[in-house]
Structure 1
Amino acid sequence: MSKKILVLAGDFVEDYELMIPYQMLVMCGFQVDVVCPGKKSGEIVATAIHDFEGDQTYSEKRGHNFMLNYDFENVKTTEYAGLYIPGGRAPEYIRLNERVVEIVQEFEKAKKPIAAICHGPQLLVAADVVRGKKCTAYPAVMPDIKLAGGIWTNSNETLSDSVVDGNLVTSAAWPAHPALIGEFIKLLGVEIKHN
């Protein structure tokens, strides 16, 4: 398979939401380029592990280091079939980078598949691509989505589902990886067959 996927990451991206989808997509035969503004291939981003432990919001612990495998400055969106945006704290600040916002807008303009999870939809809001679309995110991002004209769709209690609207698939948190990545792969035009 020659399809390439771009992943936009940053320091304190959610560990599971970067590591597991990266591995799932590679396992399915995609070339997955993970980039971060201001960093180059071979450099690392720190990750954070968010968990649901009965508090009013998630808890956060230091996660693993993730080694980037492509230079942010070399990204050409025309070379990619789809865009994946993990959550954590990274989307909150990488959305301040003009090129990050342009990248999201370029994928949307080309109607290429975009998957975003947890706080990842903050990049979709910054790029003004949720207007009129059904989507979900970590519940704390609901006001952002609504104010940007998106149609908020509640996630199920276990945060394990995804919402698809056109070229966009969103989920609330890492328990939704099977649903999110499954729908993303369908949008990419790839069918996985089981024996």
Structure 2
Amino acid sequence: MPEILSTYSIIDVLTAFDVEEILRKNNNSLSSNPGAATSLGNNPDTVYMITTLANAAYGFGQGPKPGTNQGEAGSNLRIKANVNDVIRWRTVSLTDTADYKCFLYHFKAIGTNRLGDISYITANIIEPYPAPGWPENNRVNEEPRADYYAQATVLSPGDETYTFVVAIYDRHAQLKGYVTWDPYITISDR
């Protein structure tokens, strides 16, 4: 039986936050209201959006405005995608779960919506981690974990600015607050 190839791709985007710097810049006080989240500004140096090399649209720059060069892992992102490709957004603190955890709370287009309806998904998965004695024994154990992400389907190529709202929690599951920024996302045909 011939292999059936999918006609769309799944594009994963990881957004990392320098939560300690965000808290420092805001005197350790973030908004507790997602509708009035603390703004990180138009081109924050505390947000890093990355995707795989195959999905990054290089040669256009990732800077605060088209034509400027920021490189990947800035607060804006240029990706290669076709209509009907699915983009999955995950968030992480640079300290991972040791101190803070970040969750994408909401995002929406400011103008033309290049992405379809957004779904927020929590999947229960089993994840490996290094067992005591690693790396000498080369053993891993497994533990259940929740994989949370938002996803949307590409409707059309082009530039769009979105408003993202992210919830930040400390390691004791206490809300530190909500932050927002308005990245532009460029979707170019593959």
Q: TM-score by structure 2 length?
A: 0.26
Q: Which has the higher contact order (CA 8 A, sep 6+)?
A: 2
Q: TM-score by structure 1 length?
A: 0.26
More strand by share: 2
More helix by share: 1
